[in-house]
Chains A and B, each alone.
Chain A
Amino acid sequence: MTSSLGAGGAHTVEILDSRGAWKPLDGLLLEVDQLQVEFRTRDGVAEAINGVSFDLHSGETLAILGESGSGKSVTAQAIMGILDSPPAFITGGEVRYCGRNIFTLPDEQRRRVRGPEISMVFQDALSALNPVFPVGWQIAEMFRKHRGLNKSDSLAQAVRLMQRVQIPGAAQRVKAYPHQFSGGMRQRIMIAMAIALDPAVLIADEPTTALDVTVQAQIMKLLADLQEERQMGLILITHDLGVVADVADRIAVMYAGRIVEQSDVFEIYARPAHPYTKGLLESIPRLDQKGKVLAAIGGLPPSLTRIPPGCPFNPRCNYAQDVCRVDPPPPLREVVYHRLAACHFSELVLEHSPELQVTQTVDDVQAALEYGPEPTLISQHDRIADAGPGPGVLP
């Protein structure tokens, strides 16, 4: 497959075809299947990933959303195969790229997947780039090591890539060092390095967290453009709901090493099907709530060495019942067409969404009358807790 870039260069670039070995079936690039990762530390075994599964297709953007410690970065690093082992150990599951389980590949072959086929962009470009080598050298390294190009050719490629990611004066700055660039520019350099060999999958681990808001938007647009152009599958890892809304096609929400909800972006924002997602959405400050108490999910995420039995979210959940506190945790099931959630009471959560005015009990109707047409979020919390399970919920 040759790649001709319209934007930066007028010439067609012949890239040695190693993609021959890897052809996605029906556009299905990546399948993560029941991934299990644990960290063995002195304080105990931390179950960082507990049965995560998802798919990724060409041209699709999947956002993985979660708090710190939810396991999103570990998932990405497990897919890439760059976890430090020890203390991390992959104890179960498979990751299939173009149908082949890459966990069983020998080291040599795995390295040829990592970089040219699946590549990654990290959060802090200043520490992620080697400070003592020029940026052009670092980008060109991809061509030198994976494609066998010589120094000047690979450097020319590096300049082309830097131009593609819109770094001004690329030809002059190819010999500059990372610390001589601004944060946004550095992130572009990382992106250039990641897309250098035209990978099919790009994993972006919090690519804009360390950047200003305006620069964030530029970087996200760049990623979207690149993805469109090359039909890459993009996995976007973030904790920022706002960033996700514009870019992602699907969202997977992670908590304590599990995916608790997975669906199309629009659907999740409109009607969350899991209490955790609901809590996250409700915690976003809104202009029309001025003067009211800010909602937040009480408590902290669990320590991964001692995940509570049953549903890991149960200590903080307003919908929790006895069944939630008992093993096994609720499975990820299809609650509505094409929407997966891991909760015993997803149907109830769906119905309690702020946007929907459907009320289930007499109490709800009364409360709606008392508090006015737009129920405040805090009072909703209280009502749900006080009201107990609605009809049709108990098994």
Chain B
Amino acid sequence: MGKYVIRRLLQMIPVIIGVTFIIYVSVYALGDPTVGRCGERPCPPGYIAKFRADYNLDKPLIVQYLLYMGNLLQGDLGTNFFGNQVVDELASRWPTTLRLGLMALVIETVIGISAGVVAGIRRGKFVDNLVTVSTLFLISIPIFVIGSTAQLIFGVRLGWFPVTSTQGTTYQLILPAFVLASASLAYIARLMRANLSENLRADYVRTAKAKGLSNSRTVGVHTLRNSLIPVVTYIGIDIGALMGGAIVTERIFNINGIGNFLYRSIRLKDGTSVVGTIVCLVLIYLLVNLLVDILYGFLDPRISND
């Protein structure tokens, strides 16, 4: 088991380097980092020269990158257009987004797994078809459509939830959390259903029946454990989708979180903030994936006990 963990950690390092390098290069080296800093017009040459000196853009690319990484490791993501530390901006908005994300995670896990199990057990029946069709719709309809429509129906028309969630209280986050969780919920339900029905046809289920075990035990204990494992892995990948979805959801419901911050930084062409936020998010994503991989090793004995 220890070997497995170390192997995954080592595999992660080149990926982190590669990812941060690509992010850095695409913003600073390939694009024009001074764009938008001087209003609508291109910046004067003197400004550009100073800018390049300040941001080490005159040095060779590798050195630039290393300097940037050095700062990063010290927790310095740079100063943005408005003179604020990017790190501070992120830190102040972090709790709201975290709350939104966790709520979405709980919703999608509970509802997704339950729906998937029910559909998997009663394959071919009405419940199964209902789940299949509804999840198909949830996956297909883009999240901003779901969000805008939900805002219209539940916020404006029915008035059950506030139309915007500027204060970020938990009640205000309920509707956005459901919106954020919608697509992932659908994926989890489908994954669970597919796994469960596949496992129900596995040979070891026949053996369990031949042992005289009850139906509930065969499904609840033997197949469920096998079926849950890929779902756990999926949740790791899902964090990335949740991050992207958070940008849209926070924009629609006007939530003061990291997603909204990223959105506004993009509109204002605040390069430092954009890069800083994305680097931060991607690193978190990679870390979560690593943790999920390790967890997977614990759950599936075929992986860890090799």
Chain A residues with a Cβ under 8 A of chain B: 77, 80, 82, 111-116, 119-120, 122, 124, 127-134, 141-142, 145-146, 176-177, 179-180, 190, 193
Contacts and interface: CB of A to CB of B under 8 A. Distances in A.
A128 B206 contact: yes
B302 A128 contact: no
Contacts of A116: 212
Given A127-B203, A180-B305, 8 more contacts: A77-B206, A80-B210, A115-B210, A130-B208, A131-B226, A131-B301, A146-B212, A190-B207
A128 B211 CA distance: 12
Interface in B206-253: 206-214, 217, 222, 225-226, 229
30 contacts: A111-B214, A114-B210, A114-B211, A115-B210, A115-B211, A116-B212, A119-B210, A119-B211, A122-B203, A124-B203, A127-B203, A128-B203, A130-B207, A130-B208, A130-B222, A131-B204, A131-B302, A132-B225, A132-B300, A132-B302, A141-B211, A142-B211, A145-B211, A145-B217, A176-B305, A177-B301, A179-B301, A179-B305, A180-B305, A190-B207
Interface of B: 202-204, 206-214, 217, 222, 225-226, 229, 299-302, 305
A88 to B, nearest CB: 13
A111 B212 contact: yes
A130 B210 contact: no
A80 B204 CA distance: 15
A358 B212 CA distance: 53
A142 B212 CA distance: 8
A214 to B, nearest CB: 25
Contacts of A134: 301
Contacts of B207: 122, 128-130, 190, 193
A77, A131, A132, A146 pick with most chain B CB within 10 angstroms: A132
A128 B204 contact: yes
Contacts of B203: 122, 124, 127-128
Contacts of B301: 131-132, 134, 177, 179
A69 to B, nearest CB: 18
Contact of B302 (A124, A129, A177, A190): A177
A130 B211 contact: no
A134 B305 CA distance: 12
Contacts of B214: 111, 145
Contacts of B210: 80, 82, 114-115, 119-120, 122
A116 B299 CA distance: 31
A68 B18 CA distance: 54
Contact of A193 (B209, B211, B300, B302): B211
Contacts of A124: 203
Contacts of B299: 132
Nearest to B222: A130
Contacts of A132: 225-226, 229, 299-302
Closest 8 CB pairs of A and B: A115-B212, A127-B203, A114-B212, A130-B204, A82-B209, A120-B210, A177-B301, A111-B212
